[in-house]
């Protein structure tokens, strides 16, 4: 089954967005490999795709060694997953382009991982400010990318962006009808 994964810095609003996209249903986790810490969670959606919840990156509070291990684990998933159709990278719309996000996005490019950007918490900004922040991101991205990735704005508070993101998922794999 196709997999669509979600990643971002901790506190970016990933859990809230996932809840919003899945109508706050209690999701059934698929059984992970026994003995492995459940860093990466797979949820079956509609019996036809996996929503993959990846842990937040950029923890300041863990040791460098822990962080490296953790990153190796996520990178390993991202690089080796054949069924990963798209990785959604979440960024908080209130912040300027962050170094850690830009580095991560650059790495995705090097590894040729298909990804899209989702701006979270859009309800926290006025329309003009939101568009100006998104424009700042695009400008930054254009320094490295000829073509911009798909970009979505969202709010878990108001449900803004939900349909667009779900439609994008359905269109990426046309076998996915009857979305969440």
Determine, following the binding rule CB under 6 A, whether residue 11 of this chain makes contact with ligand GDP: yes
**Pairing state between β 41-45 and 49-53:** antiparallel
As measured in angstroms, the least distance from the Cβ of 19 to ligand GDP is 8
| Interaction of residue 172 with ligand GDP, rule CB under 6 A | no
- Rounded to whole angstroms, the Cα distance separating 58 from 81 reads 22
Which residues within the stretch 59-118 sit at the binding site for ligand GDP (CB under 6 A)?
none
CB of 144 to ligand GDP, least distance (A): 25
Inter-residue contact 84 to 5 (CB < 8 Å): yes
DSSP line for 101-154: HHHHHHHHHHTT--EEEEEE-GGGS-HHHHHHHHHHHHHHHHTT-SSPPPEEE-
Decide if residue 14 touches ligand GDP (CB under 6 A): yes
From candidates 2, 48, 123, 151, binder to ligand GDP by CB under 6 A: 123
The helix-helix angle for 14-21 and 162-172 (nearest 10°) equals: 70
Residue 155 touches ligand GDP, criterion: CB under 6 A: yes
Q: Smaller CB distance to ligand GDP: residue 14 or 42? A: 14
Applying CB under 6 A, among 51, 115, 120, 137 the residue interacting with ligand GDP is: 120
> Which DSSP state fits 149?
P
- Beta bridge partners, 50, equal 3, 44
Q: Which pair of tokens denotes residue 38?
A: 């459940």
Q: Interface residues for ligand GDP in 23-62 (CB under 6 A)?
A: 56
Considering only 124, 138, 140, 166, the residue that binds ligand GDP (CB under 6 A) is: 124
User: If you count DSSP H runs as helices and E runs as strands, how many of each does the chain have, helices first?
Assistant: 5, 6
59 or 145, CB closer to ligand GDP? Answer: 59
Q: How far is the CB of 6 from ligand GDP (least distance, A)?
A: 9
- Binding-site ranges for ligand GDP (CB under 6 A): 8, 10-16, 56, 120-121, 123-124, 155-157
């Amino acid at each position: 089954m196709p997999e669509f994964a979600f990643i971002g810095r901790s506190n970016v609003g990933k859990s809230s967005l996932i809840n919003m996209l899945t109508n706050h249903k209690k999701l059934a986790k698929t059984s992970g490999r026994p003995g492995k810490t459940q860093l990466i969670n797979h949820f079956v959606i509609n019996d036809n795709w996996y929503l993959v919840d990846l842990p937040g990156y950029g923890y300041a509070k863990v040791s460098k060694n822990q962080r490296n291990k953790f990153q190796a684990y996520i990178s390993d998933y991202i690089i080796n997953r054949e069924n990963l159709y798209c990785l959604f990278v979440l960024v908080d719309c209130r912040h300027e382009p962050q170094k850690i996000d830009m580095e991560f996005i650059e790495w995705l490019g090097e590894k040729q991982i298909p990804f899209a950007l989702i701006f979270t918490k859009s309800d926290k900004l006025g329309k003009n400010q939101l568009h100006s922040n998104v424009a700042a991101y695009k400008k930054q991205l254009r320094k490295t990318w000829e073509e911009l990735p798909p970009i979505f704005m969202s709010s878990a508070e108001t449900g803004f962006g939900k349909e667009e993101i779900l439609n994008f998922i359905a269109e990426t794999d046309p076998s996915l009808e009857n979305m969440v």
